[in-house]
Structure 1
Amino acid sequence: MKLNSVVFKLGATILFLQLIILIPLGYVILQLILNYSVNQTETQLIRLSENYATQVEDLESPENMQLLEHLTTMTDTSAAILDQNGDTVLQTNWNDDITEEILENPQIQQLESGETIVEEYNFNGSNYLKVAQPITNQNGTQGSVVLFSSFGLISNSIHNIIVLVVLASLGAVILAIGFTIFISKKLGSPLIAMEKVTKQISEQKDFSLRVDYKANDEIGSLAQAINHLSETLERYQTNRNEFFSNITHELKTPLTYVKGYANAVRHEIYQSKEERDEFLEIIEDESDHISNLMDDLTDMSKIEEGKIDLNKENLHMNQLAKEILKRSHFKAADKGLKLHLSVPDHDVVLKADRSRIDQILTNLVENAVRYTETGQITLKIRDLSSDVWIEVIDTGIGIKQEDVPYLFERFYRVDKSRSRANGGTGLGLAIVKHLVEMHEGTIKIDSQFNEGTTFSLRFPK
């Protein structure tokens, strides 16, 4: 495992957090146990010394020795009885290492005043707890009883407890390490898988790869984002390949016509002046087709790069619609088609970019003329409370339902041969859709094959 890997960093972080919790917690537990043991020992010695002091009537009585020996044996302590002057009267279970002087003068005075002495001290490297209790009768204080308990006994108990706590801590650390490894791998493995997929996508350009991880968390959301990005890149690559293929075809075909007929005119391969004029007309038409294609490509590029700015103004839609139909009149008349305008009696005003709305409607009307052989084309405008509705209705060849979802894709043609003959570039509807959406509008298609097509547009005022 690499030290700079996310799994190692995550695992080290989790383990560090666990240890900074376990170590202080273990220390606090040990201190609590130590304080409890010392307090318990102190309380026990005070109680024993009080009980003994109340039972002693005569310091010289032999029963005192038996009682004291029984007491020290039961409690594993050392004891001494002192007279009023602090001199030793009795000792039992005594160890000379306990102390050279059992009580000091200030302590003897404290005992004479009825106080109990509790003291921790160190002698010859050993820690002891000393408790002294005055022995009193009706004549006053006649001596004192002093009990000693070595902290060595407490230390042994504490040592045993420490060993248990350390073992438990080691077990907790081992469990923490195992838990950390499991969690870090559980959390890190999806990230590693994402890294591999993104590297393969970047280096191998294989956009079909996906991250196989699903969860309702941030990592799952990241996996979905990577998959979505991969799908987008795959779709972009497909569209890019199709675009280059289509644009090559769209340019190659008219250029072939131009080159062929130009060569025929140059070498006078024609039968008459009329045929020569026909060749020149074809060259002109194909040149117009290339020019239109370049214009459409320029518009499409600007739209997709967000380089088109809308200069919105108040448009008088009734007048604009009349101008559009007037421009299309000659093409419609050549095919015997009627152009019909349906507008409200009042002037319809829409705040939009004039040149782009003109481009949208001109494209749709000319498209209708191009694909309609008999009947009429209707441009209808409706003024609603918050929207302006525009419809372009034709009685043309119509569109099959399976083709409708793809009409706004670049270079998509329902009938390629017919579209080519009619001079379409395959970009018009894609541009129309983008321009409509730039105006925060919507566009819908309702078409019946061999009956006609209706384009419905809605623009917010």
Structure 2
Amino acid sequence: MSIAAESAERATGWVRRGVRRFGSAWRHSLQFRTVLITLGLSSLAILVIGFTISFTVASNLFQGQVERVLGLSSTARAAAQASLDASDAADRASVQAVTNSAVRTVIGVSGSSDIALFRTPDTPAGSIAPPDFLSPDLGGRISAELRERVQGNPEGQYWQSIELPDQNGEPAPGIVVGTDLLIPGAGRYELYIGYDLADTEQTLAFMQLTGAVGAVALIALLSAITLIVVRWLIEPILAVAATSRRLAAGDLGVRVPAKGEDELAALAEAFNGMADTLQARIRDLAELSVMQQRFVSDVSHELRTPLTTIRLAGDVLYGQREDFPPATARTAELLRTQTERFETLLADLLEISRYDAGSVELESEPTNLVHLAEESIESMRALAADHGSDLRLEAPGGHLDAEVDPRRIQRIVRNLLGNAIEHGEGRPVVLSVDSNATAVALSVRDYGLGMSEEAAARVFDRFWRADPSRRRSIGGTGLGLAIALEDAVAHGGTLDVWSREGRGSVFRLVLPRVRDASVRIVAPLELEPPDPDAAGPDASGPDAHGPDSAGPGVPAEEVRDA
């Protein structure tokens, strides 16, 4: 790459960085925007006013100079004509002497040495007529239009703008005034007097320079004043914003300092009042939450003793059910089943109360989610066989280990598998595990009843059931998915659901491999399945499973990719 190309690329990089910095400052700084807008509008206003004043002053100065030179020219012409009229010259020498005297009179009265004297075309050439006279500075600067007007209007006075050399020989603005003189014995002559306006131009230039300096100083002063005022106004806002962030972080005792009695002080007082109310409300809610948690804990502990007694008595009756009449034996079975469900519900309530109290502590360790999924499938295989469902595991591979609490993650997986078996209508249930550099994902897909969008939006609510009339064969408490969601959030992960009526559901768990808030997590598995309208992997016969899945009855270990 040539030096010129490198320089151009470097300059382009500087421009891009400058544009990015400007855009960032414009978006994030109200102070920068306010000062810049004020500076721009002030500059525009001063520019318009400055041009207007400069144009007005220049026009007035020029008009005044025109009136001045016209007056001088008229006076000089009258004085010269008077000296000519008083002369009785009759020969060439005397006429030339009188003419020279008249020219000197014009120079003396007008104050200009730039003189031109031409015979008019209608003046007859005679032996006593003096020759034309032309100052060097006027040579070639008198237009034919001006001469025609002077020639056609005797005793009239006309002018035009020209350029005349100043004392340094540089071109400067000027005015030439044309009139006529009547020389006795010679006839009419055109008289032109040139006036140098260099002093006027210098005066105007000095005024413009002074105005420009004053405009720059005024803009700088306005910018400084705007910056001071904006900082004075924005500092309380920044203080309110900082206080809000501290309040959001949990520092409920922080307040905005209020000074004076103006609008900003009113804002600070209103904000502090809001913070006081919020702090009192949070304190009341915290006390209520502590009371509620204590109540749930006390009730749960108090229920354990009679529940243990009932469980022991139920186990005794259940063990002797074969000696009872059929109705009594069935009662013993129901008592044992409902006692187990009561124990599960009590354990779930205690777990929920721990999450509500914020007292949950994770026992994290490096865990392979594929192995954990295999263990969960084995523990649920008997239940799946009772429902006619085939459990399948798909694990393409990748970074499979993650820092998690294996007991809680396994509880999530078992809960998802149990729900999939319950609502899978005897169709296969597919458990998929995949990972990338930042996260590990696990999804459970069933091809059963599915849910509507409204039901899917509430599926994680506590004690909510999509179809209360449906018989549950595995005795759920209505808290399983709520606890699963709390477990996922406690790990810094997410638990999402996709469902379609008649097409089944997908629950996806995404967990970070390492808890790091600065790392952006990308889910390795898509939530919506690639075959959302499929009725099941085996809906179209043995070939519908695809190359990476197995048919019914194939062990999960043979499906997983090594």
TM-score when normalising by structure 1: 0.48
TM-score when normalising by structure 2: 0.40
